[in-house]
Structure 1
């Protein structure tokens, strides 16, 4: 099967054309820039990528464009969906296209289904997708999905899926939860969503991070991951301050607005409905905050 991913993995935004459709050429170029900056992988079509706002056909088109560019073996792609058939189709396609990992949101409409139903959903998906090489990663983001991959669910899936289940992306912000997963399931790669955890990643047995804010200044996170506890305080402080600036506004629009500013390309700020771009006041505060952080 595909190698288990690790390290600094930006959750890449999806650039859009004027009609709201993904600009795959711009996306592929940006993914190349992230790898050139030292990132170890890229997470395509996650929350930052606005995946749940695209239909299945559009998601498959984006996946295909990135795979054709040759990046899939170093990437994970979001394949979760509320309808099992959609999740199966997307996960199976990820395997055929050669993606290293498929990132699974839980079925996020019926929020009171319980652990047994959630575990059975993932097991059924794995069975129907007939995966050969792509590994599965659970996506824990209960503040948006209303569901959590509890330790009991993770234990059952680890036991029943074996090496097919490679890890978990934890975007809950609950660090003790991520630490408990890492401590109890040593075979799983655990990725918190905040690059501030990279300095202590080795001590806490984290595999790295999968973060939206890393897109803006990826070299800071890559340097911290490499240096770990030896990361200079000034480098670590700048990285943390950049994330604070971005999270002072709605994070996904903030990341896209920051990229529009950094790359001199206003189209990066375009959002897919229902999300809205930052307003003028928010953007001014964002630009001021980033300009005041001594990056280089």
Structure 2
């Protein structure tokens, strides 16, 4: 059994870059990973919702994980595991272990959402498929499946290699509820960008972040200030960052984050259908937010 992974710190949910023909741009993917790790991120999460996983073929997912492992070096790579069927999710989990990933972020099945017995069977099948450290991904807004704290406890008691939960219900009370029931059994990670400070204050110690794809320095600084309990400094940076962080919580969050990446010179706005790039009004809105942010960008102090 592999040792628990260190899920603390800022772990980007990395976007998937595409060439003009919408094939995966592996060279940029590797450079992007090195850039974020070089600014203090502690690992990489690939093939999540932000990574447009549902538009990727199985082979593309495996090749992306290989590229991430190569680029990340000693930093851990966590593979997002989501599929239409339990069988495919298990196969992807096993492939992730084979290519050198250090952890799995396990999602409920795409499309189908049912009762706890079926969800428990699906999650357990994936967690049992490898020896890798696993993180449960709870996102009832996107996936219509809400893993309650009591259900997380059931999974934690059954599986020694379940070590963390990415909590994306957007309700800070859920962080407190998980913490109260499971104590330190699972590491808690904030899964929505505009809940970081509140989540850390409630007991979260990690952040699967989105806007970090364009602003890693500010993301890491905000996390570190929050973890250090430097609330006045954190609040000032948070208030500056929030208009951009809120782009992570809307339907077109992938398009918005990729657009911001392109605007700051670190990526392309290209997305795969059914997603389409932002329309002129949406682009103007995002550009306005970004212009205000860049004009008032804080000077970050080197931490002692």
Deviations 1:201-226 (CA, angstroms, capped at 9, x unpaired): 55422122112122221222211221
* Equivalent-residue separation in structure 1 for 2:266 and 2:153 (angstroms): 46
State the shift of 1:254 in Å: 0.3
Partner of 1:199 in structure 2? 197
Q: Do the aligned partners of 1:246 and 1:286 also contact (CA within 8 Å) in 2?
A: no
SS across alignment from 1:69:
helix
Matched residue count: 289
Relative to structure 1, is the Cα distance of residues 74 and 218 closer, same or farther in structure 2, using a 3 angstrom cutoff?
same
**Structure 1, unpaired ranges of 5+:** none
- Separation of aligned partners in 2, 1:249 and 1:159: 35
Q: Which residue of 2 aligns with 1:284?
A: 284
Separation in 1 of the partners of 2:115 and 2:204?
27
Contact 1:72 1:100 in 2 (8 A): no
Whole-angstrom CA distance in 1 between matches of 2:200 and 2:257: 27
Q: Does 1:178 align with 2:188?
A: no
Q: What is the root-mean-square deviation in Å for CA atoms of aligned residues?
A: 2.0
Counterpart pick for 1:295 among 294, 297, 301: 297
**Aligned CA distance change for structure 1 residues 80 and 13 (closer, same or farther; 3 Å):** same
Return the match for 2:63 from 56, 61, 64. Answer: 61
Pairs within 5 Å for 1:119-268: 119-127=120-128, 129=129, 131-132=130-131, 134-162=132-160, 164-185=161-182, 186-228=184-226, 229-231=229-231, 232=233, 233-244=235-246, 250-263=252-265, 268=268
Question: Residue 76 of structure 2: which of 59, 63, 74 is its match?
Answer: 74
- Does the residue aligned with 1:92 lie in a helix, a strand or coil? helix
**Structure 1 159/32 Cα, relative in aligned 2: closer, same or farther at 3 Å?**
same
The TM-score with structure 2 as length reference comes to 0.88
Q: TM-score, normalised by structure 1?
A: 0.90
1:196 shift after superposition: 4.4
Check 1:95–1:287 CA distance in 2 against 1; reply closer, same or farther (3 A cut). same
CA–CA separation in structure 1 for the residues paired with 2:203 and 2:239:
22
Are the aligned partners of 1:6 and 1:208 in contact in 2 as well (CA < 8 Å)?
yes
- C-alpha distance in 2 between matches for 1:289 and 1:104: 33
Tell me the CA shift for residue 295 of structure 1: 1.6
State how far apart, in whole Å, the 2-side matches of 1:72 and 1:105 are. 25
Aligned residues of 2:188 and 2:204 also touching (Cα < 8 A): yes
Confirm or deny: 8 A CA contact 2:68 2:77 kept in the other structure.
no
